Amino acid sequence: MSVMKKMMNILMPVVLLSACVEDESIAKYADSDAEYQLTELDGTPFTATATISFPEAGKVTGQAPCNRYFADQSEAYPWFNVGAVRTTRMACPDLDTEAEFIAALRAMTLAEVAGETLILSNLDGRQMVFVAR
């Protein structure tokens, strides 16, 4: 048997099993058609515009105060971890607010979806409250 066939025999079951794994990330619990707008950051009203959505399993997208952003999120609900956040590179007067938003988003470790409300939080007491729009 060729090396390629041996590799296929080893890898095929792994590929098939991974296809059977059900999504347990927040994307399963949040409305995939909704765009959630940030209304509160750490107990203070958030006056700039920032959104988050979960269009498919393992994906996070949204609008920060200046730029669109994209990230991966594959933790099982209620855990949350966006890892590296990629953004477009447009300048605007709200870049400091955007940096604060992205840093807060990266610090979140828990998620809770309750109807139209999405709450991201962490064990340090930080919290982001979003409402579907």
Q: Which residue has the higher pLDDT, 24 or 107?
A: 107
Domains belonging to the chain, first-starting first, are: 23-132 (2.40.128.270)
**pLDDT value at position 74?**
83
Answer yes or no: pTM beyond 0.75. yes
**pLDDT value at position 23?**
66
CA distance 97 to 100: 5
- What is the signed CA dihedral for 107, 82, 45, 28, rounded to 10 degrees? -130
pLDDT of residue 73 exceeding 70, the answer is yes
